[in-house]
Structure 1
Amino acid sequence: MVTFQLSPEQEALRNLAHEFSETEIKPIAPKHDETEEPAWEVIRKAHELGLMNVHVPPEYGGQGLGNLEGCLIEEELAWGCLGISGSISANNLALEPILLAGTDEQKRKFLPWFCAEPRLAAFALTEATGGSDVAAMYTRARRVGDEYVITGTKTFITNGGVADLYVVFATLDRSLAHKGICAFIVPGDTPGVRAGKKERKMGDRASHVGEVIFEEAVVPAANRLGAEGQGFKLAMQTLDRTRPGIGAAAVGVARRAMEEALAYARERHAFGRPIAEFQMIQAMLADMAMNIDAARLLVWRAAWLQDQGQPGTAEGAMAKCFASDVAMRVTTDAVQILGGNGYMRDYPVEKLMRDAKITQIYEGTNQIQRLVIARQLLKSRS
């Protein structure tokens, strides 16, 4: 039976996340957008409230929440600020490979570490010469006895350079393409691991995004996730699992923009009446509401499918792609409704528009999402 009713526990979780976003994130978002520094105090408070590492099972100190619950949290935190939300939710992305492929020993060693203290993790996949083309990576892992030596540079890594732990993807042999890629758990204090350039971004400025450089970093073979050559598959499985969360964050940004535009339209007068009475403005607001609602339903469906044990590859790509496109349209229209004020930093919609753009790019560009969807369609009919 299909139902759109959240359980009392889910409603309580969503309300908790929204109250936290309203009181702790929203007031400081403009400052961190200006300084481009992570909101460390908010990260600490989010950890105390149980809004971080939410998918870690109870036996390792986490809550063991499902993907749908994770999406409820991500929408509300991104409503307050996408960048601050991204610093927090990046842990979900980075720890997912350990949840998917980690041995019991690896899980016992690393997962409780994050549940006990407010630490950051990072998913180190992207390189300067290979974003969407993951199999073309240059970062190399060389086997030496019971260890691997990792050399290379990862770019555009959320929490990169400030994380306590990295899940790093490296190739044993570039000629093997995706079949040569391995995944490794690498503590941030490993000798040979250092921060590179911190990126200066158009939006999403409250999250720390930067290079991570590996210079002959030695990692025990016991830290490899899965077998040799399974890293590419693990990366794709991870992104399948986390894309609905990006969709949820995009919905949060779009929803906030619509709320700001609606409030402004009610207060702003032109030709002797509120601009909310003009049909052109009403049509823009109606389109915002319809698209946000449709995006949220796609996100919920994708997350629910995964919670039922289904891969949801196409559905996750649809949710991420559609929701992020909606966020870009809605924030652009919100700026338009506010007119000249919308273009000024005195109002939040210009930040929301800048933030929205990254949701169309990270964790797979929307062009890649459309390829994923198309390939799943063709596969299902073969």
Structure 2
Amino acid sequence: MIAFEPTEDQRLMQDAVAEFAKATLLPRTRELEHARGVSEDIRRTAHEMGLGLVSVPEAAGGQGQGLVTTVLIEEELGAADAAAAFGLAGPGAFGRAVIELGGPERAAELLAGFAEEGGWDRFGAVAWSEPAPCRTHEGFATKAERTDEGYRITGKKAFVGNAALADRFVVFAQVEPERGWGGIGAFVVRRDNAGIRVGERHKTLGLDAASFGEVVLEGAVVRDADRLLGDGGEEGFTRAALRFFVKHALVVAARAVGLSRFAFELAREHCDTRVAFGKPIGHFQAVAFTLADRAMDVETSRWLVWKAAAAWDAGQSERDALLASARAAAHAFEATMRTADDCVQLFGGSGFIRDLVAEKLMRDAKQLMLAAPTAEQLDQLASAIELGQKLDPALVLPTPDTQAIFT
């Protein structure tokens, strides 16, 4: 028998988040956009609901839920304001990185503070991308040099989500330049480290309620224990990094599904009420076919994301889960751009006016496509798996040589 339905507990959580999103985020979407951040009262409420702790291990004070529960609630947030979903407190991408690269015990140690009373104002961040490709060797320009004290990290990172808010980072840097992408490492760097500072905030196309900026490493010294080694060795580290990236992509893809749903419902309502030549414009074939295609995009995106999340929760093979995730996220990112773009188009001349939310959805959709490995990178990963190619980091990880990403 083929069946895939959320559990009763998942439904209850999904309904609670949907109500929060509709009552709290949706009415204030322009306010948060203009403020370029999520207000304290919203972050407090979200923290009390445990929204940033769904996938945090129980040992660290989280709920220890799987990816299916996570994507269910992220879709509901994205259906109200995908930008605000990035600005809610919690470990976010940092949490997913330390879980995959650090293992259960290290993750529990690094994530414990997020469940505390002041957790509504605590963020984590991942510093992966750089302003430009490295010109001297394959890999990162940011370097981590071995010292008697551990590692000294020097360089500049860009497009870092919540850079200005985070109190701890996972920083990727080059450990062995001669080995290219096979010689990179990941390190935990805390905000109070004397060798780290936050640079300028980026002015982005969309997702204005989210904060992305630069992180500058000026000889930040970290202990040996602060290096996250994944499963050990180059291949083990690469696979752990891939697991992080595809799970992060699924979370962002779930927000994209929510945004697609919002854009489709907005367009459908408009096409059902806007009358031209004596009938609603949705009754004209060209418009009706557009709406039908976008409805299919929403449904296929949702089910592919749910299926991929379920593959991880069910403990399917890493190959199958990676492949399902790459396909799902790539499709969701492309579909959300089509849906948001058509939403603007169907509103006609008023679609790109800031009085309506349609134009914001289109800008946010484009930004979402850059907030994780891009559709092109995910296609590359999927094809490498399907063709049985070795998962070379230079081939399957998002690199500055191909396209920088916001994390």
> Please, what TM-score do these two structures have when normalized by structure 1?
0.93
Alpha-carbon separation, structure 1, partners of 2:30 and 2:273: 22
Alpha-carbon separation, structure 1, partners of 2:88 and 2:208: 14
Deviation at residue 228 of structure 1 after TM alignment: 7.5
Deviates most, 305-314 or 324-333: 305-314
Alpha-carbon separation, structure 1, partners of 2:172 and 2:238: 8
> Please, what TM-score do these two structures have when normalized by structure 2?
0.88
**Percent identical across equivalent pairs?**
33
Number of aligned residue pairs: 379
Provide the residue aligned with 2:73 in structure 1. Answer: 73
Deviates most, 354-363 or 222-231: 222-231
Q: Alpha-carbon deviations, 1:11-31, whole Å to 9, x = none?
A: 111111111111111111112
Whether 2:358 is the aligned partner of 1:355: answer: no
Deviates most, 315-324 or 108-117: 108-117
Following TM superposition, the consecutive aligned residue runs of length 4 or more in structure 1 with deviations greater than 6 angstroms are: none
Give the counterpart letter for 1:29 in structure 2: T
Deviation at residue 103 of structure 1 after TM alignment: 5.2
Alpha-carbon separation, structure 2, partners of 1:203 and 1:322: 20
Provide the residue aligned with 1:150 in structure 2. Answer: 153
Provide the residue aligned with 1:261 in structure 2. Answer: 267
Deviation at residue 130 of structure 1 after TM alignment: 3.8
Alpha-carbon separation, structure 1, partners of 2:175 and 2:5: 48
Q: Counterpart of 1:323 in 2: which secondary structure?
A: helix
Deviation at residue 179 of structure 1 after TM alignment: 2.4
| Alpha carbons of structure 1 residues 196 and 228: separation in structure 2 relative to 1, 3 Å | farther
Q: Tell me if structure 2 keeps the 8 A contact 1:182–1:224.
A: yes
Whether 2:173 is the aligned partner of 1:175: answer: no
Whether 2:379 is the aligned partner of 1:373: answer: no
Whether 2:197 is the aligned partner of 1:191: answer: no
Provide the residue aligned with 2:288 in structure 1. Answer: 282
Provide the residue aligned with 1:115 in structure 2. Answer: 115
1:330 paired residue among 335, 339, 349: 339
Q: Alpha-carbon deviations, 1:318-352, whole Å to 9, x = none?
A: 11110111100011111111111111111111100
Q: Counterpart of 2:194 in 1: which secondary structure?
A: coil
Give the counterpart letter for 1:304 in structure 2: A
Provide the residue aligned with 2:10 in structure 1. Answer: 10
| Alpha carbons of structure 1 residues 138 and 232: separation in structure 2 relative to 1, 3 Å | farther
- Residue pairs, 1:120-131, within 5 angstroms: 120-130=123-133
| Alpha carbons of structure 1 residues 149 and 38: separation in structure 2 relative to 1, 3 Å | farther
Give the counterpart letter for 1:44 in structure 2: R
Q: Alpha-carbon deviations, 1:277-308, whole Å to 9, x = none?
A: 22222221111111110111110111000111
Q: Tell me if structure 1 keeps the 8 A contact 2:260–2:336.
A: yes
Q: Alpha-carbon deviations, 1:197-230, whole Å to 9, x = none?
A: 1100111111000001111111121111125766
Provide the residue aligned with 2:315 in structure 1. Answer: 309
Please give the root-mean-square deviation of Cα atoms over the aligned residues, in Å: 2.1
Q: Alpha-carbon deviations, 1:164-188, whole Å to 9, x = none?
A: 1101111112221122211111112
Q: Tell me if structure 2 keeps the 8 A contact 1:138–1:152.
A: yes
Deviation at residue 153 of structure 1 after TM alignment: 0.8
Give the counterpart letter for 2:283 in structure 1: E
Deviates most, 144-153 or 229-238: 229-238
Q: Tell me if structure 1 keeps the 8 A contact 2:92–2:123.
A: no
Whether 2:209 is the aligned partner of 1:206: answer: yes
Give the counterpart letter for 1:210 in structure 2: G
Alpha-carbon separation, structure 2, partners of 1:163 and 1:201: 19
Give the counterpart letter for 2:200 in structure 1: K
Q: Tell me if structure 1 keeps the 8 A contact 2:124–2:169.
A: yes
Q: Tell me if structure 1 keeps the 8 A contact 2:61–2:112.
A: yes
Provide the residue aligned with 2:351 in structure 1. Answer: 342
Alpha-carbon separation, structure 2, partners of 1:307 and 1:193: 36
Whether 2:255 is the aligned partner of 1:252: answer: no
Q: Counterpart of 1:362 in 2: which secondary structure?
A: coil
Alpha-carbon separation, structure 2, partners of 1:232 and 1:219: 22
Deviates most, 242-251 or 203-212: 242-251
| Alpha carbons of structure 1 residues 213 and 231: separation in structure 2 relative to 1, 3 Å | farther
Give the counterpart letter for 2:258 in structure 1: G
Q: Tell me if structure 2 keeps the 8 A contact 1:243–1:319.
A: no
